[in-house]
Every structure is written in structure tokens, then in C-alpha cells.
Structure 1
Amino acid sequence: MEDAKDDLGSLVWGQAEQRAAQGDPSYVRELGSQLADRHAAAVEQVREYERQLAYVVRVLALTPGRASLVQLCRLLDEKRPSTSGSGLLPRFVASLLAEHQYVTDLAATVFDRREWGRLDELRACLFHELVLRGVDIDKFPPLRSWPLERPGWHALAWLPVHLSAFESDVDFPSRSIRGSARGGPANLPSEGRMDPPTPRTSERSALRDIATVDVYETIVAAVQAGEWGDYGAWVFMLDEAITPDQVPALLPTLPMDCVDGLGPTGRFEIAVRPADGIWSMLFATASMGGMYGSGVQGAFGRLWAWRSMAGLSGTRVGASVEEVEYQARQCTWFHFEADADWFHNDISADYGIATLSADRRRIAVLAATDTD
């Protein structure tokens, strides 16, 4: 099979079937072995090209100035590079651009649809990256006109074109050409604490989880997007209205995986939080991701944070972001941690969120963990 090194393909297509029929399966196996080796080498070469290309894109994106932007747009528009990794995804490139480039340069170059017709996905993400960073889009005509030109079917079209008060205090990663640093969801604050006294009751609540598949998927949207290790969501309808100060004692008794194994004296800490603080936690979860991922960046982080807020607050399906914000402000929000088996209690890698509806008859819970 020495000649197989020179023309392996002709041997595969010309002899594999014949040799098998002649009772020589070892020959066919050897063909497969050589193909597997060549495939592995080719895959690694492709990965190396992807790493190199992602680095080139990063250099152009992080070098301020219109000259770099023009060359980057030309590369992305003409070659339309795709990758299985995150380094070439439009949402990642958009995040780099928003962090390192001047808004005037971005508006004049990236948002020129006549010059770069294939960059709508990059523009869609970059627009919301800039909104989140407090850019007044009305001051830049290309940005002001983008909501009228963007594809109406795009998922990001649901988001508002101006910054909500909920979104005024968000964290972003810090990137350089060869490195990056990021934060994560906030730890349980000392203010607003409502820890229930111990020992707590060991009696389990008779309430049952009524979350439908759609409601569950909406609540966990941000955590799922951030690719955290494990998460869960539950919704309970109460027999009668309760006050917010009754929630801390009720939560540990509910039939939820995240509090299984929590004894009467096990640590259960909880604080009431403003709704915008919960939104920021969800945004960090989705946008920056877990320990082994890079998240979905700012634009889609914004989208999935609002989706999770909608599910937790019980906002109707199809509602606008403004409706979600209004509904969320009527709810009472809680942030909790526990020494239950489900959590690992690593810093910024475990949290629980609970919300009591405006009528005080519905409790929704989201729990997330991102440890091994």
C-alpha cells in the first residue's frame, strides 16, 4: 500500500469495495486508518488557520482608526470567514469594535451599507453594543437610520434603540490583542438581607411547579446562552397572597432541586434586590458566559437578559421590552445562596433569583451554577 500515500483517494474509490468482496478486509481497514490520520492532520491545520485568522481580525479590530476599520470590513465582506470558534463571530468582533474604536469612525465605516453589503449581522450586534455603552445614536446619522434599515426578522430587532434605566450599570470584558479580563454576576450583597432565622422548618411545601416548557426556556434564557454548567427554573402559584417578608422562609421549603438536602440549619442567605440589579446579573451571565466560555457578548447578552426577566416576571408572551420593564418593576426580587448539594458556593459561580409577582400570588425561581 505504499502507493496509497501518493493517491489514497483513487485507492479508496477504486479498490475498497473490490478488496472487501475478495475477502481482504484488512486492506480496507488500512485504507481507513490512513484516511483517519490524514483527516486528523487536516482538522488540526484548519484549526490553526482559524486561530491565525481570528488573531488577524482581532489586531485590525483593536487598532483604532478608520484605516484599520476599512481593511477589516473589506476582509469580512469579501471573504466572509466562518469558524467553529468564537473569535470570528460577528457578535464577538462587534464587541471588540465597540470597546476599542471611536464611534465616529464606526458610524462612518461599518454602517455604510452601500460599501459593505454583507455585514448586516455585524452591524446589528455593533448597534446594541454601542447603545449599551451609552452612545447617543441620535447624534450619528448612520446609527440613527440603522433601525429603519435593519432586517426586521432579526432577533435583535425586538430590543429598544435607546438605553433603558435598567441597563445603566453593566460590566463589560476588557480585551487587548493578546489577553482579556472579565467579571461576572455580583455576589450576594450585604444590604437588603432577609435571612430567615434558624432552625427553619423541615416540612416541605405542598406547592407544585407549574412552569411550562416555554416558560422554563424563557426563564433560563440568559444562563443557557452563557453556557453555565447547570441551571433550573420553577414557577409556583400560591393559594393566597403573601407579603415579601414571607418569601425568605418559604423558598427553602419549595420542591426545587436547588434546595434539596438543605437542612433546618444549613446556610440559606437571601437579600431583596432592585430589579435592575437582577437584570445586570442576568446580563453578565449571558454576555460574559461561564468559566469555560466567552458568552454571547453585549448585544445578545442584552437580548437574553430581557428574555429571562420576562419569564421571571410573568410578562405575557410577545410583550415589548417596555412592557417587561414595567412588569418587572411591579415585582419584588430576591437574590439567594444556599449550602444545598446542588450549589458549589464558588465566588461568582452560583446564584439563585426569586421574584414575587405584583399580585403576590406567583413565585418564580432561577438557579444557576457553573462549577465542576
Structure 2
Amino acid sequence: MTDQIQEIVTRLPDMESVTGVWDTAEDRLGQGDFTFVADLGVALVTQYGSSGARIWQYRSVFDRLLRLLALTPGQEHAESAARVVAAAPDNGKLARYAASLLADGQDPKALKSAFAARSSSADDALDELRCCLVQELVLRGVSIAENPEVEAWATSPYRRRHPLAWLPLELSAIEEAPSLPSYSVGGSSYCMPYGAEDDTGVTLGSAADLPSVTDTTTDAFRESAAAAVANWAEESNGCNEAGSYDLSGPIHVEALPDLLVTLGLECLSGTYSLERPTLAVCRPEDAWEVLFAAASTGGAYNNGEYGAYGRLASWRSLAALSGASTTAPVGEVEERARECGWYSFGAASKWFRGVAWDMGLVSVSQAGRRIAVLAATDTD
């Protein structure tokens, strides 16, 4: 450890501003001294990373160092970022974040060394980073088959036991072009495709002759359907609601808003009596996009699951809402989703916060005798 690094580590808790440390790291990186930046990151992790409190100075400087390394193109910068991540304790969420940064900031060729000649042991400190990085690359349209080091690791026997192994190594047609964050050293930008469309997109009919409804919602269904928005409730101010229902006869689209009102959904409680929920036709691609954005970027006060686990959560939600098994292959889930009719909805109710994070999705089975609902809201 150099004297300068030792001084920064020692003085850090007493600093009222850390911009000087930011500037020092950026200057050293600009001079090509990526080792200094990585060594500083490792030293800070060693001193402060395991602390329950984790002082704000540490969080701010560590994030800046990681961004500097991950977003500066070059294999040596990518390897240095990985070294910092490997040094951090309990780095599961950090690995997700770092993988998102690296996939956004680096050419895939600069990342191949992370996968070359690596142990398949679950104890490998960078194993979770690699698992996430594979999926982050897939989401950005990178051909895994054209990157031999990545493909060899991603198809290894050990990887099959990882939760992310359920996901294919290429984008499905439903995923189209996923909305992904754009990072800079000083910040990030995200897509927020929430809320119902202004135009209902359907012709509303009479509430007469609605089919009778049997609530088939189970705890397992709720958990799976809400997988994409669980982080809004667990890490921010949000809440969600999910339900599945069997119908005595097929539901016609024009009667769907009236049927929703009869389900006793909390998200529609307090809806003004003269107003029906707004309903808009959407494609399964649109449904997946909203679910992925909710899962990967989070709500008002959190950063979500990032790309890899955001992709996993969005497919879990899509499977439950379309009536497919959450253990079925993704291709089978996609087929079932395409058989369903999809609609986004919203309402002038007390439940929806009306800030920026409101979403409602309804799927209707091919025969029109099953519907599933997912609603979520969050606020700052």
C-alpha cells in the first residue's frame, strides 16, 4: 500500500467532501495508473467494507472507483474492476451492479480474460460476476457463440446449477431490444415505460352477462407473478397485487374493464364510480418490456435487480401471468405468452400513486376463460 493510499484510507471517515479523492483517482487513471485506482479500492474494502455501518464516504468513493475502472475501455481496466469486486465481502448485489457497468462500458473482447481458464468452483469470488456478465452481454445483443471464452464458461457443467442458467444465451423474439441503463462516471439514465396508454384501444361494452369468476390465486402464483416488481416493495415504498381467475365463459375484450372492477382488487378500490379502469391493448413484447424495466431498474428508492436478474424476474412474471410453469423452458413460456391477449390498465384510484411508477397488466388466455392480473405502484 502506498503512502498516498494509506493517507486516504486513514483520513476518509473525517472527510466532509470526497471530491478530492475522486479527482485524485481520475487523474491517476488518466496517467495510465489503473493499479493505483484498484489498489485504493481494495484497501478501502479491507478497512471499511465489512463494517455494518459502511460510512457514506466509503460508499461514495468505492462507487466512483468502480465506475472509473469499469467504464474506461480496456482489458486492464476491466480486470482491475473485477479485482475490486472480488475483494468485497458479500458481493452478490455488487456483482450484479458491476456486471451491468462492465457490459455497458467495455467491448466484449476486453472481458474475455474474466472467463478464460477459470475454476468452476462455487467458491470462486468472481463466479457470480461472470454469471451476471453473461446475461448482461446477451441483453446487449452480444453473440455468446462468437466469443469462445465466454461460451466455454457459460456452457460448463457448473453453470447449469446456477439460477440464471434457466435463461437462454440469446435474446428471444419477445425481448426485442431491451431498454438498458446508460452509465457515466457521474450518473445513470433509465427507461421508465410505466402507466396505461391514454387511448383505451378497445370499445367498451355493457357490464351485463359477465361470466362468473373463480379466484384461483395461490401464494406461489403471487410470488412468481410479482417477481418483476418485488423489489419495489422490498427496497422502496411500493406495493403490488397479483391474482389469477378462472371464468365460467369466455370474456369479451369490451367487457374486461367491468370484469376487473368485480374482482375485488385492492388496486381498483376507491375508483370513482362513473369511471372504468383505462385499458389499452398491448403486445407480449410490451408486457415483457414493462416487466423487465420494473425488475432491472427498480422503483423510486432503489436500483432494482440490474440486467441479469432483472431478465430472470421478468420471465418468471411473464410465465405466471401467461399460465405457463415457471420451470418450463423459456421458449415454452414465450409460446404461451403469445397465445394470450395482453392489456395494460390503470385507474383513478387511491391505490395508484400517480407519480412515475404505476403499472397494470392483464393477460387473457387463448380461450378467454382465464385471466391474470399484476399491478404495482411506487412513490418517492
Structures share a fold, TM > 0.5? yes
TM-score class, shorter: 0.7 to 0.9
- Compared CA separation, residues 310 and 63, structure 1 to 2 (3 A): same
Q: Is 1:293 paired with 2:307?
A: no
Q: Pick one of 99, 123, 129 that aligns with 2:130.
A: 123
Q: Is the 8 A contact 1:50 1:83 kept in 2?
A: no
Partners of 1:193 and 1:354 lie apart in 2 by 14
Instruction: Kindly provide the amino acid, as one letter, of the partner of residue 196 in structure 1.
Output: L
Deviation at 1:206, TM superposition (A): 5.9
Name the larger-Rg structure.
1
Q: Is 1:213 paired with 2:222?
A: no
Structure 1 residues 1-372: aligned runs within 5 Å: 44=53, 46-77=55-86, 79-82=87-90, 89-107=94-112, 109-114=113-118, 117-149=124-156, 150-189=158-197, 193-194=201-202, 196=204, 207-227=213-233, 229-266=238-275, 268-347=277-356, 349-371=357-379
Partners of 1:250 and 1:45 lie apart in 2 by 50
Partners of 1:182 and 1:167 lie apart in 2 by 17
Q: Is the 8 A contact 1:286 1:296 kept in 2?
A: yes
Q: Is the 8 A contact 2:257 2:276 kept in 1?
A: no
Partners of 1:262 and 1:281 lie apart in 2 by 23
Partners of 1:192 and 1:146 lie apart in 2 by 47
TM-score normalised to structure 2 length: 0.78
1:27-72 residue CA offsets vs partner (Å, 9 max, x unmatched): xxxxxxxxxxxxxxx7656453343223222211111101212222
Instruction: Kindly provide the amino acid, as one letter, of the partner of residue 60 in structure 1.
Output: L
Aligned to 1:21: none
Q: Is the 8 A contact 1:260 1:342 kept in 2?
A: yes
What stretches of structure 2 of length at least 5 have no aligned partner? Answer: 1-50
Partners of 2:326 and 2:83 lie apart in 1 by 40
Secondary structure at the residue paired with 2:161? coil
Secondary structure at the residue paired with 1:152? helix
1:304-352 residue CA offsets vs partner (Å, 9 max, x unmatched): 00000011011134211111100000000110010022112223x1121
TM-score normalised to structure 1 length: 0.80
Aligned to 1:8: none
Q: Is the 8 A contact 1:334 1:354 kept in 2?
A: yes
- Compared CA separation, residues 190 and 49, structure 1 to 2 (3 A): closer
Secondary structure at the residue paired with 1:97? helix
The percent identity for this pair of structures is: 38
Deviation at 1:160, TM superposition (A): 0.7
Deviation at 1:360, TM superposition (A): 1.3
- Compared CA separation, residues 204 and 232, structure 1 to 2 (3 A): farther
Secondary structure at the residue paired with 2:374? strand
Say which is worse superposed, 336-345 or 271-280, in terms of deviation: 336-345
Deviation at 1:194, TM superposition (A): 1.8
Instruction: Kindly provide the amino acid, as one letter, of the partner of residue 309 in structure 1.
Output: L
Q: Is the 8 A contact 1:331 1:358 kept in 2?
A: yes
Deviation at 1:81, TM superposition (A): 3.9
Q: Is the 8 A contact 2:103 2:136 kept in 1?
A: yes
Instruction: Kindly provide the amino acid, as one letter, of the partner of residue 105 in structure 2.
Output: H
Partners of 1:155 and 1:52 lie apart in 2 by 32
How many residues align? The count is 323
Deviation at 1:119, TM superposition (A): 1.2
Partners of 1:359 and 1:284 lie apart in 2 by 29
Q: Is the 8 A contact 2:135 2:307 kept in 1?
A: yes
Q: Is the 8 A contact 2:212 2:249 kept in 1?
A: no
Q: Is the 8 A contact 1:231 1:366 kept in 2?
A: yes
1:75-100 residue CA offsets vs partner (Å, 9 max, x unmatched): 333x244469x5xx100000000111
Q: CA RMSD in A?
A: 2.6
- Compared CA separation, residues 317 and 72, structure 1 to 2 (3 A): closer
Partners of 1:177 and 1:367 lie apart in 2 by 34
Aligned to 1:29: none
